[in-house]
Amino acid sequence: MKREEEEKEKALEDQQGEQARQEAEKNSKTDFTFSAQKQTRSSPQYPSMASSYEQILNNEEIRIVLVGKTGAGKSATANTILGQRESTSKRSPKSVTERCAKADGEVDGEKVSVINTPGLFATRVDEDKIREDVTQCVSYASPGPHIFLIVIKLDRFTEEEKQMVQKIQQNFGEEADKYSMVLFTHGDLLKGTTIQEYLSESEELQELVAKCNGQYHVFDNNLEDRSQVSELLLKIRDINKKNGGNHYTTDTFQKAERAIEEEKQRILKEKEEQMQKEQEELKKEIEEKYQEQIKEVKDDLEREKQLREEMEREKEERIKALKNRQKAWARREAENNNPALLIALSTIFEAVFGIGLTVLNLKG
């Protein structure tokens, strides 16, 4: 029975990974600019004007890192948090079972990012794979996660899961336990029993929760029950408030953030001329739209003045939105493929693995 559930979970993750891959391929064929100018397949792309670029801005989002074994319900948990029936991750072209993935959304009016680390704590994973996963996770969670969620299925608790907190500390710093929470999935298995009663029957689970400073939550992964997600976000805010009112961070995350910001600025500089052209084309489009209306009311000076004011407001708002979208795209590119980040994070691998950092390709 457990084997079947693990296979179902793996199949779900594979399906979501394929969707992410197809989306990445689709995006590679879209226009880079606001105009009809085409970009080659090998060139970077950013989302269309209609996309919710604001959800990508890293300084305004709640960042949640999911850790746990395959079959624990990480993919379902990510979808439950974001209110999605299918994976919304568009960050990773490869299968989410092979590498970290990041999905963005809005929950209760707040921007939320969920980072899934499928292979980070798995058994029989080679060092290069772990190094790559840690690097990508740090990149996605930079400048630091608000919570590490240890995802555990209620009816199954293994030796590996007992060591989850230590593994989080090993990979992300000693203080990470203060920002860790156990998330029990498949809450429907309680069948009338309270979670407190369930925990009282297992000393090992009590020890794990204690290592997370008594912080835990229960999901039944029912998309219709949004209260469980609201309660989770409330607990995350309380944990961060208790720990000084901010997200978790270390020198490693700060190095990552600096490297990402530098790469983002480099990308913006490289694409400055093209982005400026896009902004000018948008201004021209807005002006042409209003010029037609202004011609129609040329004898009505008051109405003409009103239209010109509206035109300036629209230009200001839409240009601001476009610039934010361009910056968000550059941020995403910097997160996904940043050689400078590998150099900046070399110390974490020397400390964790006792060996130097090899050159990795974050895009696979």
Same domain, 60 and 90: yes
Task: Please report, in angstroms and rounded to a whole number, the separation of the first and last CA atoms in the chain.
Answer: 34
Averaged pLDDT, groups of 10, the chain, 364 residues long: 54 48 35 25 33 38 86 85 65 50 88 82 63 78 88 79 77 82 87 88 87 89 81 92 84 80 89 92 92 83 89 93 89 76 58 41 34
Residue type, 53: Y
Same domain, 239 and 282: no
CB 113 within 8 A of CB 61: yes
Same domain, 168 and 307: no
Helix (H, G, I), strand (E, B) or coil at 95: coil
Residue 151 sits in a domain whose CATH number is 3.40.50.300
Same domain, 21 and 60: yes
Q: How many domains, in total, are found in the chain? A: 2
Same domain, 74 and 204: yes
> Whole-prediction pTM value?
0.65
Contacts of residue 42, defined as CB under 8 A and 6 or more positions apart, other chains included, come to none
Indicate whether 102 belongs to any domain.
Answer: yes
CA–CA separation, 51 vs 68, rounded Å? 31
Q: Among 220, 252, 284, where does a domain finish?
A: 252
Q: Among 198, 218, 252, where does a domain finish?
A: 252
Same domain, 243 and 259: no
CB 186 within 8 A of CB 155: yes
Indicate whether 353 belongs to any domain.
Answer: no
Residue 307, token pair as written in the block: 């239209």
Q: What is the pLDDT of residue 302?
A: 87
Same domain, 323 and 195: no
Same domain, 58 and 176: yes
Same domain, 239 and 266: no
Indicate whether 350 belongs to any domain.
Answer: no
- Which residue range(s) make up the domain with 315? 254-340
